[in-house]
Amino acid sequence: MVSDTEFNSNEEIELQLLLEAIYLKYGYDFRSYSKAHLKRRLISRKARLGLNSVSEMIHLVLSNNDFFHQILTDLSVNVTEMFRDPDFYKVIRHEIIPVLKTYPFIKIWHAGCATGEEVYSMAIILKEEGLLERSTLYATDFNQIALGKASEGIYPLDKMKLYTENYYKAQGKASFCDYFTVSYGSAIFEKDLKKNVIFSDHNLVTDGVFGEMNMIICRNVLIYFNQQLQNHVHQLFLESLLPGGFICLGSKESLLLTEYQEYYTQIDKHSVFKKNY
């Protein structure tokens, strides 16, 4: 296991220089990501291309935009699925939805939405609870390729069996297949689910506060950041969330034992917190 410390071997120094090259050339800042995560992804890319050194990757990233986008995909957090962790969505339905129903308008931010599966999961719950029409969902990511897939709402048909199982475990109220049509081996989700969704480019590392939200969902993203960057993002979320609003993190993430713990009350073991008034 690679420790989350500064790179110190020759190869690790080259990796640091690669991150600097990406930042200076393209403006994407991965320098505060977990070192273990970065090394694993970048060394894997080097091996797949049959390159002899990381220095060759530096040359490629500076001279070849296509190669840069390969690296961008490697470093993006794109592990997601619809109704991932069904018990979490049951918490949303039973603990958070009743509070949201008291608001005339609802603003929800999916930070680091990747290819959008969790955004559509939330839209389905809001529709079933009669809240979608007065909700605005902001789905953001820095990876514009992933964001484009999210806005399309088209997913491989072979994933629908798992997504259907997740949906029913999350206490879905309808027939899951009613939410999509099948065409050429793909599931195309109905347009009504995304009519109140705004897909937008936003980078948690470099961009600022994002509106005044009733709910922020950022699950299994912070685990790829070092502690300094995690604190930066927690501050961003604190400033973006209205008093009484909810923040939902991943199963291995928490606000407990952080300097931001005092601002929140945990309402469920699934890393769901409510901002204090």
Residue that terminates a domain, selected from 75, 94, 121: 75
Same domain for 150 and 210, yes or no, is yes
For 217-247, how does the pLDDT look when each residue is reduced to its tens digit (9 = 90+)?
999 999 999 999 999 999 999 999 999 999 9
Residues 159 and 196 in one domain: yes
Residues 134 and 206 in one domain: yes
Are 112 and 79 a contacting pair, CB within 8 Å?
A: no
Same domain, yes or no: 152 and 255: yes
Residue range 122-134, pLDDT digits in tens: 999 999 999 999 9
Q: Look at residue 1 and tell me whether its pLDDT is greater than 60.
A: no
Share of residues in the chain with pLDDT > 90 (%): 81
On whether both 265 and 207 belong to a single domain, the answer is yes
Say if residues 128 and 172 touch (Cβ distance below 8 Å).
Answer: yes
Q: Tell how strand 197-201 and strand 135-141 pair up.
A: parallel
Among 107-111, 136-140, 172-176, 209-213, the minimum mean pLDDT is found in 209-213
Residues 168 and 255 in one domain: yes
Rounded Cα distance between 182 and 128, Å, is 22
Quote the distance between the C-alpha of residue 118 and its chain's center: 9
2 has a pLDDT exceeding 50 = no
Task: For residue 59, give its domain range.
Answer: 10-75
Rounded Cα distance between 240 and 254, Å, is 18
Has residue 15 been placed in a domain? Answer: yes
Are 183 and 249 part of one and the same domain? yes
Cα-to-chain-centroid distance, residue 185: 26
| Per-residue confidence band for 7, with pLDDT thresholds at 50, 70 and 90 | low
All residues at 6 or more sequence positions from 225 whose CB lies less than 8 Å from its CB, including other chains: 32, 33, 34, 233
Which residue shows structure tokens 């997740």? 166
Q: Is residue 24 part of a domain?
A: yes
Over residues 158-178, the mean pLDDT reads 97
Q: How far apart are CA 198 and CA 250, in angstroms?
A: 23
In a domain, 80, yes or no: no
User: Which tokens in the block code for residue 177?
Assistant: 């297949």
Q: Which of 251, 249, 277 is nearest to 264 (CA)?
A: 277
157 belongs to a structural domain: yes
- Residue 244's domain is classified under what CATH number? 3.40.50.150
